[in-house]
Amino acid sequence: MEDYMSNETKLDKLEDSGVFLFVYSDRFNIYFIFQHKEDNKLFKITTDKDINIEHIDEITNPDGFMNYKNIKFFKPFNKNDMLNFVGIVTFEDRCCRFIIENDVVKYQDDVEFEPVTQFNLLDCMVGVKIESYIQKKNKIYIVGESTNNHGDVDTIYGVADLVSGEFDVVYYLYSDKGSINLKTINIDSEASKVYVAGSLNQKPYYETFQFKS
pLDDT tens digits for the chain (213 residues)? 656 655 668 898 888 999 999 999 999 999 999 999 999 999 999 999 999 999 999 999 999 999 999 999 999 999 888 899 999 999 999 999 999 999 999 999 999 877 777 787 889 998 899 999 999 999 999 999 998 878 889 999 999 999 999 999 999 999 999 999 999 999 999 999 999 999 999 999 999 999 987
pLDDT of residue 2: 58
pLDDT of residue 151: 82
Report the distance separating Cα 37 and Cα 78, nearest Å: 28
Report the distance separating Cα 133 and Cα 206, nearest Å: 16
Q: Are 41 and 105 in contact (CB under 8 A)?
A: no
pLDDT in tens, 116-156: 777 878 899 988 999 999 999 999 999 999 988 788 899 99
pLDDT of residue 149: 78
DSSP-derived letter for residue 138 is: T
Report the distance separating Cα 213 and Cα 197, nearest Å: 21
pLDDT of residue 7: 60
pLDDT of residue 4: 60
> How is the chain split into domains, by residue range?
2-59+115-210
pLDDT of residue 212: 80
Q: Are 70 and 111 in contact (CB under 8 A)?
A: no
Dihedral sign (CA 134, 32, 26, 102): positive
Inter-CA distances, 133 with 8, 48, 201, Å: 30, 23, 23
